Amino acid sequence: MVVIVPTVVATDAPCTGLSVIYNDDKTFNSYLFYPKNPEAVIVDSEVIANAPVKFLVAGMGDALGTYFEARACDRTDAPSLESGGITRSAMALCRLCYDTLREYGAAAKKACECHVVTPALEAIIEANVYLSGVGADNGGLAVAHSFYNGLTALGGHSAPHGNCVAFGTLVQLVLERAPKKEFEEVQQFCMEVGLPVTLEEIGITKDEEIRVIAEKSCVEGESIHNMVSDVTPDQLYAAIVAADALGKEARA
């Protein structure tokens, strides 16, 4: 029996039925899938309210990818992360995750900064841990998580997983030719809660680093290949540069 009691909500890992394996040099190795999810995940909201707010923000970044990555998988009939089909109920959880972030993200951050538990904070704890975790397991991953995995190839990066997934979500929307309104909505959310919209904010400043990320994100077996019309490293490089430029413009 597995019972998980997270003391931060910086990723959706607690509810998922898998572990992410990294090499000793912090580069991504693989996903290790388990036969079942944890029996229970127990989060004490008081503990989260007193944890550093950066963890809550990072968790919102990880949760931000959930709906868009699942939607990409659903469009191509790709298997879910747990290798099942993607159901309407899975998509409803993923959508609720995104809607909850937009509705309560900023208020939850404020509550955490004041170390108080509010309904908004509880809603975001649920989104970060449960909706995102169960959503991703039953939805699927696409560009945002491949972008993060590719980024680990640089070694020694310090940006949190969720912050990189948030930027990777913007990259995915560029590749998907998402409507301007949708892209700006996600970008605005990131700026509202303190998630990155530019590469510099996740510590990427050199062109050769972008090339490495683009190359490594597209290796065989990566979830980026769940996208409609496959993505090449050159296409991903272009999308990363474009998302960064749009972020710089929004920040100006």
Question: In this complex, which beta carbon is closest to Zn ion, that of residue 13 or of residue 111?
Answer: 13
Minimum gap (Å) between residue 61 Cβ and Zn ion: 9
Question: In this complex, which beta carbon is closest to Zn ion, that of residue 69 or of residue 201?
Answer: 69
Minimum gap (Å) between residue 102 Cβ and Zn ion: 19
Please name which of 208, 226, 234 lies closest in space to residue 153, comparing C-alpha atoms: 208
Q: What are the residues whose beta carbons fall under 8 Å from the beta carbon of 152, sequence distance 6 or more? A: 22, 26, 27, 28, 216
Minimum gap (Å) between residue 165 Cβ and Zn ion: 5
Per-position x/- string for 77-106, each x denoting binding to Zn ion as judged by CB under 5 A, each - no binding: ------------------------------
- Told to check if 137 binds Zn ion by CB under 5 A, we report no
Question: In this complex, which beta carbon is closest to Zn ion, that of residue 146 or of residue 198?
Answer: 146
Return the structure tokens found at 100: 């909850």
Minimum gap (Å) between residue 146 Cβ and Zn ion: 11
Minimum gap (Å) between residue 62 Cβ and Zn ion: 4
Please tell me the count of residues contacting Zn ion according to CB under 5 A: 1
- Of 8-67, which residues contact Zn ion (CB under 5 A)? 62
Please state, in angstroms and rounded to a whole number, the distance separating the CA atoms of residues 86 and 75. 10
Question: In this complex, which beta carbon is closest to Zn ion, that of residue 72 or of residue 117?
Answer: 72
Please state, in angstroms and rounded to a whole number, the distance separating the CA atoms of residues 245 and 239. 10
Residue type, 89: S
Question: In this complex, which beta carbon is closest to Zn ion, that of residue 62 or of residue 137?
Answer: 62
Q: How far is CA 211 from CA 137, 201, 218, in A?
A: 29, 17, 11
Of how many residues is the chain composed? 252
Question: In this complex, which beta carbon is closest to Zn ion, that of residue 111 or of residue 216?
Answer: 216
Please state, in angstroms and rounded to a whole number, the distance separating the CA atoms of residues 6 and 42. 7
Please name which of 140, 146, 193, 195 lies closest in space to residue 168, comparing C-alpha atoms: 146
Q: How many helices (H) and strands (E) in the chain?
A: 10, 4
Please name which of 204, 125, 90, 137 lies closest in space to residue 145, comparing C-alpha atoms: 137
Minimum gap (Å) between residue 27 Cβ and Zn ion: 16
Nearest residue to Zn ion, scored by beta-carbon proximity: 62
Minimum gap (Å) between residue 228 Cβ and Zn ion: 22
Instruction: State the residues that interact with Zn ion by CB under 5 A.
Output: 62
